[in-house]
Amino acid sequence: MLDKPYCNAPWLGLYYEGTVGCRPCCEWKGETFEGNIKEYEKSQFLIDFKKRMYNDKESVFCQECLHNEKIGGHSRRKYYDRFTDIDYDISGLKYIARMDFRAGNKCNMMCRMCGPSSSSLLEEEIIDAGEQEIGFTKHLDTSDVYDLDLTGCEEISILGGEPSIDLKVRKFMNHVADNYPNIRVVVTTNATNSSEKWFKTLLRFCRGAGLQIILSVDAAGATQDFQRKSKIGWNTIKTNIVKYREMAKNNNNECEISIQLTCTAINLVTIDKWWDELVGLDIKIDPNQVWWPKGMAVSCIPHEYKHKSIKFLENWKTHFETILKFGKTKTHLTEVQIHNVDKAVGTIINILETTKYTGTKNFIETQNRYDKYRNENIKDLDDRFKVMMI
């Protein structure tokens, strides 16, 4: 047994999701405590979780942090490691240093790598297909989040569902702005909404401790619309992205913006079709590898297509560096933006190179299920999927 836990999250972190419950962090891939915050703090679940952190071998359910560290990226474990004033014998939480809050699953997208706990439309889709009955997804009362003392909290991450269309989320964000102006807020949105009321709420944090906007956008054009299915198509999303970008520029010192690119077996196979357009939006891109469902994971990509995507990115990078060197680019990228593009390309290549191929069985099962639900066919998206679906 270790003398010190390999992760401090169980003492300082809180992930609270209205359709799931509580756990120490978003990155944890194991089970979640199915209850409210007070029950969680007193639970055997949290006691056992803390004990688990002392094991000599790190948990397999910590794979996201472990993988991100392996490829030289950010990990939540690194974030919590910088806190040293911790009484490891204390029960419950010492205090909340960082919180992920998801009030519920209200969403206007049906992403293939998502699930009913995070999308009301996916929940409805499964019920309509007759595979589950109404009530199979939990809907907890998360109003106890207002009872939390967030005095020691540095950062709150707001996710969904889709936060911009959930009034419960907006109410909580205004509560934080009113009572805890020193908390930095990170909002993850799918960029389908750029209404004046939503932007007004976001701007409150630009005048406070700061705001980070993470745009969940996985590609451009047909690939984006297929992977993140919605009645709101790419053209509208692209227009909204520009609005978010301009808002961030106008509040440069207090607002950060980035695109979180969820790397899957769909968008990395077709990356040659959409990469230029996404980069052309001049927003930092942070690739993030999907682990669940297995049928969407990068591990489903056959070696041939994996190598072709790597080759495309390597050639693209060479061409990008050439046009920058000779001043032929039409974009107005700063040195920081150029660095961000270069880093994103390197990260995706690293993901492709370090992810072990496990076959296409799970991929076929997942795509067949969604194609049946939606009367779609992934083979129509790109001919390469004709091979992967055999």
Q: What is the 3-state secondary structure (H, E, C) of the chain?
A: CCCCCCCCHHHHEEEEECCCEEECCCCCCCCCECCCHHHHHCCHHHHHHHHHCCCCCCCHHHHHHHHHHHCCCCCHHHHHHCCCCCCCCCCCCCCCCEEEEECCCCCCCEECCCCCCCCHHHHHHHHHCCCCCCCCCCCCCCHHHHHCCCCCCCEEEECCCCHHHCHHHHHHHHHHHHHCCCCEEEEEECCCCCCHHHHHHHHHHHCCCCEEEEEECCCCHHHHHHHEECCCCHHHHHHHHHHHHHHHHHCCCCEEEEEEEEECCCCCCCHHHHHHHHHCCCCEEEEEECCCCHHHCHHHCCHHHHHHHHHHHHHHHHHHHHHHHCCCCCCCCCHHHHHHHHHHHHHHHHHHHHCCCCCCHHHHHHHHHHHHHHCCCHHHCCCHHHHHCC
The verdict on whether omega for the bond into residue 293 sits within 30 degrees of 0, i.e. cis, is yes
Is the per-residue pLDDT at 271 higher than 90?
Answer: yes
Q: Are residues 170 and 34 in the same domain?
A: no
Q: Closest Cα partner for 129 from 295, 363, 370, 294?
A: 370
Residue predicted with more confidence, 69 or 111:
111
* Boundaries of domain holding 140: 99-388
CATH of the domain at 339: 3.20.20
Q: Are residues 183 and 39 in the same domain?
A: no
Q: Are residues 152 and 103 in the same domain?
A: yes
Summarize the confidence of residues 230-241 as an average pLDDT: 97
* pLDDT tens per residue across span 59-70: 888 888 887 888
Q: Are residues 320 and 228 in the same domain?
A: yes
Query: Which pLDDT value is given to residue 287?
Result: 96
Does residue 2 fall inside a structural domain? no
Summarize the confidence of residues 215-229 as an average pLDDT: 98
C-alpha neighbours within 13 Å on the C-beta side of residue 41: 14
Q: Which of 128-132, 162-166, 250-254, 269-273 has the lowest mean pLDDT?
A: 250-254
Does residue 325 fall inside a structural domain? yes
Domain boundary among 38, 73, 95: 95
Query: Which pLDDT value is given to residue 98?
Result: 95
Q: Are residues 217 and 259 in the same domain?
A: yes
Could you tell me the pLDDT band of residue 85, with boundaries at 50, 70 and 90? confident
316, two tokens: 């693209």
* pLDDT tens per residue across span 2-22: 888 999 999 999 999 999 999
Summarize the confidence of residues 316-320 as an average pLDDT: 87
Angle formed at CA 111 by CA 60 and CA 284, multiple of 5 degrees: 80
pTM of the model: 0.89
Domain boundary among 95, 116, 144: 95
Is the per-residue pLDDT at 57 higher than 90?
Answer: no
237: number of Cβ within 10 Å: 21
* pLDDT tens per residue across span 20-41: 999 999 888 889 999 999 999 9
C-beta separation of 18 from 105 below 8 A: yes
Split into its structural domains, the chain has a count of 2
Kindly report the length of the chain. Answer: 390
Is the per-residue pLDDT at 82 higher than 80?
Answer: yes
Q: Are residues 85 and 111 in the same domain?
A: no
Could you tell me the pLDDT band of residue 208, with boundaries at 50, 70 and 90? confident
Q: Are residues 41 and 136 in the same domain?
A: no
Q: Are residues 252 and 292 in the same domain?
A: yes
Query: Which pLDDT value is given to residue 56?
Result: 85
User: Residues with Cβ < 8 Å from 226, sequence gap 6 or more?
Assistant: 112, 266, 376, 378, 381
Distance of alpha carbon 102 from alpha carbon 157, whole angstroms: 9
Is the per-residue pLDDT at 330 higher than 70?
Answer: no
Q: Are residues 33 and 133 in the same domain?
A: no
Domain boundary among 95, 124, 158: 95
Summarize the confidence of residues 296-300 as an average pLDDT: 97
Q: Are residues 113 and 77 in the same domain?
A: no
Residue predicted with more confidence, 186 or 71:
186
- Mean pLDDT taken over the chain: 92
Dihedral sign, CA of 114, 164, 277, 347?
Answer: negative
Query: Which pLDDT value is given to residue 326?
Result: 55
Does residue 47 fall inside a structural domain? yes
Q: Are residues 170 and 114 in the same domain?
A: yes
C-beta separation of 106 from 161 below 8 A: yes
